[in-house]
A and B are shown apart, each in its own frame.
Chain A
Amino acid sequence: MTDEPILTVENLKTQFFTEQGVVRAVDGISFDVYPGEIVGLVGESGAGKSVATSSVMRLVDNPGEIVGGEITYKNKTLVGFERAGDELVPRDEMLTNEEMRTQVRGNEIAIIFQDPMESLNPVYTIGHQLKEFILLNRELDKKAAREEAITMLREVGIPEPEERFDDYPHEFSGGMRQRVLIAMALACQPELIIADEPTTALDVTVEGQILELVKELQEEYGTSFLWVTHDMGVVAEICDRVNVMYLGEIVEQATVDELFYETQHPYTNALLNSIPRPDQTIEELVPIKGVMPEAINPPSGCRFHTRCPDAREVCTEIEPTYSEITTYDGWPHNASCLKHEDVGYDVSEPIENEARKGTEGTEVVQ
């Protein structure tokens, strides 16, 4: 831990102002990414993973808004606020939208999305799009940009790159398109790549190829990754450190080995117990009962108390503090659970919630 983190996110809050009320999609999360690291962001759909990454890229769209927190990338302030009277206003050193576009997106931080078909323009050739991206972000002439584009296509394992250069996105398979997006992200030699579920839509063999490719490329270029996924298998395979998200909050953060073997939060534990394993036959899965509540009106106290098998009376009243439980090899292991706090969890009565009910998931989403 001698290096400085290249990305620091502190107490980030992103909210969506809808007719039904304020959706607190990301509610005060903090994490950092060090050079050359793959950091995971895990959680079920609706946990706020993608909103968190869009906030880092400042791509949150109306009615969404970043309402608080600090995001620092190297020496640049991507998000920063100061108090002016009663309100929080953006600080002067916070990058303007134009500076975000010219200085950060693409050449410093690149992003790879889940659906490669939607990220590529169907009316331009693959080569054209890749070349345009290189021309915009790097000082190369047209010929050099074309050569760089072909080299990148070959690097990510596109067969016959000279000929495929002039093909359209629909002529590529899903895995190939995802490779093109990786080539695009790498072409501008960014220091950080945000990968938002990049392998979720792919077949296992293709996913395997992409994960291998990412590992190789990371060794070669030393790029850092912020890897968003819901797949604990992928996490175990490539991540160095992991953040587990539930309902807009990070509930646990640890190195990958600690997270799997010294799990501190009941949600992480339940998540690990609910997944079928490819490497062993499990007699009976233990599912997490119920469904994730809406972020518009999160449960009081600990947000997981409605589904937590270990929930007690006190969990409905006191909001747990996200704090360091242990350290491992210099890395902190953080979790937010009242079990680890001195607030009378041990003497509190267990509560009747969905985890203890006989039937599963009978409540209705209105």
Chain B
Amino acid sequence: MSDATTVGNDTGDIEAGETLMEIDHVSKYFSSGSGFLSGFFGSPDVKAVDDVSFEIKKGETIAVVGESGCGKSTLARTVLQLLRPTAGSVRYKGQDLTELSDKEIRPLRQNMQMIFQDPQSSLNPRMKIGQIVEEPMKAHGLYDSEGRTERAKVLLNKVGLDPSHYNRYPHEFSGGQRQRVNLARALSTDPDLIMCDEPVSALDVSIQAQVLNTMQELQDEFGVTYLFISHDLSVVRYIADRVAVMYLGQIAELANKEELFENPKHPYTEALLDAIPVPDPRATNARGTLEGDVPSPINPPSGCRFRTRCPKVIQPGALGKEPTDLPDEVQAARLQSYELEPAVWQDTLAFTRAVNRRSFVLDEGESDQTEISLPPEEVRTRLESLFFKNGWPEGEVERTINAAIDSLSNGEWEDAATLLSNTFEENSICAIEQPTYTVAPERGDIHVVNCHLHR
């Protein structure tokens, strides 16, 4: 590119729609300990990103959504090699970035730019916005001084700012305008990829729409690819082409936007979509609220990460198919087939979780439930009215529940929780095997659903 004022995508060595980046089994662990003692004794790792694979295609907007702490920002930083992955590889146009040194990556960085959430703190308050926009070009030795100024003015105009404001300081602009300055800066080196980490979360709704529209116009004009990190599914539905839903360091579901929103397969995606308040008072919103909090990434649940909160955990031994290549421990677990009525299994699961969380009381008069002592029959009657409205489970399940009732009647909640959890939760296929499946998409070309319901 010779002319500083042409802001178009130049080096068309790959076409729109072809793979720009390949993220292959990438993991990023952080050490949770600090100080030299933890070096001696070893400390557990925080598995912020664990075995994530996907592709970024040129010219698309791929969104990564998830709750706070699910690892979406870490993933994005790992993709850009701002954090070096613990394992796996990231290929940019076929070149493995994880094998390059920092010095070797540096020239490649002009193709990968960033926009952050807080438009205030990502702009240097002592620099004029013109200088801010020129900075990346300077760092990469692009154009001469005049060329840079000229290009900065062109870009300011493109993002919807007045080029005559070149000499103003960031504090003279509103939040939405500052985010536009960020956009202009990111575009200055003519990148292939812009990583946007919650770019509109700090903005008011009306300003959000302005910035999102500008981002789309810029993409149409320059063919730039966005890796869009967000927690807001409404924004994602507006801007993204493909969406990856992350939960606790892993991708739960990945599909084209329409497919994901209209035909969600993973119980976590369903729960997320159910949870958003719809701006329509006449919408009939049957919400299946998720219970509990996201577990700690230091010691994530075995098998499927979502199983501790999933409303659709598969009961032990209840898989329809008989694959012969299952590991031994899975086969062993499969022998304990309960074949409960679905409703009764749901009740059993709800009861197990309620004991774990101690979310109910057996004796109204006593605030500390670990100090009660009640006859088992009374406990059973109370549980029947609280949880088992669809009938009492039979056989082996009943024996386990009776043993738990004995513990509860003596106030031994811990024992009861361990017994129930080991019997019902840990024996499920969801706890034993990590799911990785793809299903045939109804819309679009890819649908990854990491859930055992879709094996």
Chain A residues proximal to chain B, CB less than 8 Å: 44-45, 146-147, 150-151, 154, 157, 159-162, 173-176, 203-209, 211-212, 230-237, 256-257, 260-261, 270-272, 274-279, 281-282, 284-289, 291, 359-362, 364-366
Asked if residues A279 and B283 are in contact (CB atoms below 8 Å), the reply is: yes
- Going nearest first, the 9 A-B pairs with the smallest beta carbon separation are A233-B277, A287-B209, A208-B275, A159-B357, A288-B206, A147-B367, A276-B238, A203-B67, A232-B279
Nearest CB to that of A358 among chain B residues?
Answer: B160
CA distance in complex: A282, B291 (Å): 31
B212 adjacent to chain A (CB < 8 Å):
yes
Note all chain B residues with C-beta closer than 8 A to A211. 277
Whole-angstrom CA separation of A228 from B233 in the bound complex: 22
Return chain A residues, CB-CB under 8 Å to B274: 208
CB distance from A266 to the nearest CB of B (A): 13
B290 touches A209 (CB 8 A): yes
Chain A residues in 8 Å Cβ range of B238: 276-277, 281-282, 285
User: Which residues in A have their C-beta under 8 angstroms from that of B291?
Assistant: 209
A360-B290 CB under 8 A given contacts A237-B285, A277-B234, A282-B238: no
Indicate if B204 sits at the interface (CB-CB under 8 A). yes
Interface set, chain B 209-254, CB cutoff 8 A to A: 209-210, 212-214, 231-235, 237-238
Q: List 14 A-B contacts (CB under 8 A).
A: A154-B361, A162-B369, A203-B68, A205-B272, A208-B275, A209-B290, A209-B291, A211-B277, A212-B289, A276-B234, A277-B237, A291-B177, A360-B160, A362-B160
B445 at the A interface (CB under 8 A): no
Bound: A44/B359 CA distance, A: 38
| Interchain CB contact under 8 A, A360 and B359 | no
Alpha-carbon distance between A278 and B65 when the two chains are bound, in angstroms: 13
B174 at the A/B interface (Cβ < 8 Å)? Answer: yes
The reply to whether B67 and A204 contact each other, CB–CB distance below 8 Å, is yes
Decide yes or no whether B382 CB sits under 8 A from chain A: no
The reply to whether B174 and A361 form a contact with Cβ atoms under 8 Å apart is: yes
Other 7 A-B pairs with CB < 8 A, given A206-B67, A275-B234, A285-B209 = A208-B276, A208-B277, A233-B278, A260-B281, A285-B212, A361-B207, A362-B162
Once the chains are docked, how many angstroms separate the CA of A362 from the CA of B172?
11
* Contacting residues, chain B, for A289 (C-beta < 8 A): 210
Would you call A361 and B210 a contact (CB within 8 A)?
yes
The 8 A CB mask of B289-320 against A (1 = contact, 0 = none) is 11111100000000000000000000000000
Least distance between B27 CB and chain A CB atoms (Å): 23
Decide if A233 touches B276 in the complex (CB within 8 Å): yes
**Contact partner, B357, options A150, A160, A206, Cβ 8 Å:** A160
Contact of A150 among B287, B289, B356, B367 (CB under 8 A): B367
Tell me if B237 and A276 are in contact (CB < 8 A). Answer: yes
Which chain A residues border B176 with CB–CB below 8 Å?
A: 291, 361
CB distance from A138 to the nearest CB of B (A): 16
Residues of B within 8 A of A287 (CB): 206-210, 213
**Closest CB of chain B to A29's CB: distance in Å?**
20
In whole angstroms, what is the CA distance A233 to B290 when docked? 19
The one of B160, B278, B358 in contact with A359, judged by C-beta atoms closer than 8 angstroms, is B160
- Nearest residue (CB) in A for B239 is A276
Min CB distance A194 to B, Å, is 20
B174–A276 touching, CB < 8 Å: no
CB of B370 closer than 8 Å to a CB of A:
yes
- Whether A234 pairs with B205 at a CB distance below 8 angstroms is no
- Among residues of A, the one whose C-beta sits closest to the C-beta of B357 is A159
Contact of A208 among B290, B356, B369 (CB under 8 A): B290
B161 located at the interface, meaning its Cβ lies under 8 Å from any Cβ of chain A in the complex: yes
Chain B's nearest CB lies how many Å from the CB of A347? 30
Residue of B nearest to A365 (CB): B174
CB distance from B70 to the nearest CB of A (A): 9
User: B278 touching A236 by the CB < 8 A rule?
Assistant: yes
Q: CA–CA, A207 to B292, complex, Å?
A: 12
Complex Cα–Cα for A162 and B372 (A): 13
Tally of B interface residues using CB under 8 Å: 63
Instruction: State whether A159 touches B292 (Cβ < 8 A).
Output: yes
A205 touches B275 (CB 8 A): yes
Least CB separation from A256: chain B residue: B281
B173: chain A residues within 8 A (beta carbon): 364-365
Min CB–CB distance B311 → chain A (angstroms): 12
Which residue of the partner chain B has the closest CB to A237?
B277
Report whether A205 and B271 are in contact in the complex, using a CB–CB cutoff of 8 Å: yes
Residues 255-296 of chain B: 1 if any A CB is under 8 Å from the residue's CB, otherwise 0?
A: 001100100000000011111111111110101011111100
B168 on the interface (CB 8 Å rule)?
yes
Whether B279 pairs with A272 at a CB distance below 8 angstroms is yes
Give A279 to B273 CA distance when docked, in angstroms.
Answer: 8
* Inter-subunit contact A291/B279 (CB<8 Å): no
Q: Is the CB of A204 within 8 A of B205?
A: no
Interface status of B368 (Cβ within 8 A of chain A): yes
**Chain A nearest CB: distance from B305 CB in Å?**
14
Which B residues lie within 8 Å of A276 (CB)?
208-209, 212, 232, 234-235, 237-238
Whether the Cβ atoms of A275 and B209 lie closer than 8 Å is yes
Are A151 and B367 in contact (CB-based, < 8 A)?
A: yes
Q: Is residue B77 within 8 Å, beta carbon to beta carbon, of the partner chain?
A: no
CA distance A206 to B275 in the complex (A): 8
Q: Which residues of B contact A275 (CB under 8 A)?
A: 205, 209, 234, 279
Contacts of B380 in A (CB 8 A): none
Contact A361 B160 (CB under 8 A): yes
Once the chains bind, are A278 and B233 in contact (CB under 8 Å)?
A: yes
Assembly CA distance A360 to B367 (angstroms) = 59
Query: How far apart are the CA atoms of A44 and B203 in the complex, in Å?
Result: 10
- Choose from B161, B180, B237, B358 the contact partner of A278 (Cβ within 8 Å): B237
Query: Is the C-beta of B128 less than 8 angstroms from some C-beta in chain A?
Result: no
Contact A160 B67, beta carbon cutoff 8 Å: no
Q: Which residues of B contact A261 (CB under 8 A)?
A: 281-282
Closest chain B residue to A202, Cβ basis: B68
Contact present for A204 and B289 (CB under 8 Å): no
Q: A160-B358, A205-B272, A207-B275 are in contact. Are A278 and B206 (CB under 8 A)?
A: no
Instruction: Report the Cα distance A278→B234, complex, angstroms.
Output: 4
Shortest distance in angstroms between A345's beta carbon and chain B's nearest beta carbon?
24
* Minimum C-beta distance from A348 to chain B (A): 25
B25 within 8 A of A: no
The distance in angstroms between the C-alpha atoms of A29 and B173, with both chains bound, is 30
Question: B290 contacts A205, CB within 8 Å?
Answer: yes
User: B212 → chain A, closest Cβ, in Å?
Assistant: 6
The residues of A that contact B162 with a CB separation of less than 8 Å are 359, 362
Chain B residues with CB under 8 Å of A260's CB are 279-282
Minimum Cβ distance to chain B for residue A352 (Å): 17
CA distance A360 to B208 in the complex (A): 12
Bound: A39/B65 CA distance, A: 31
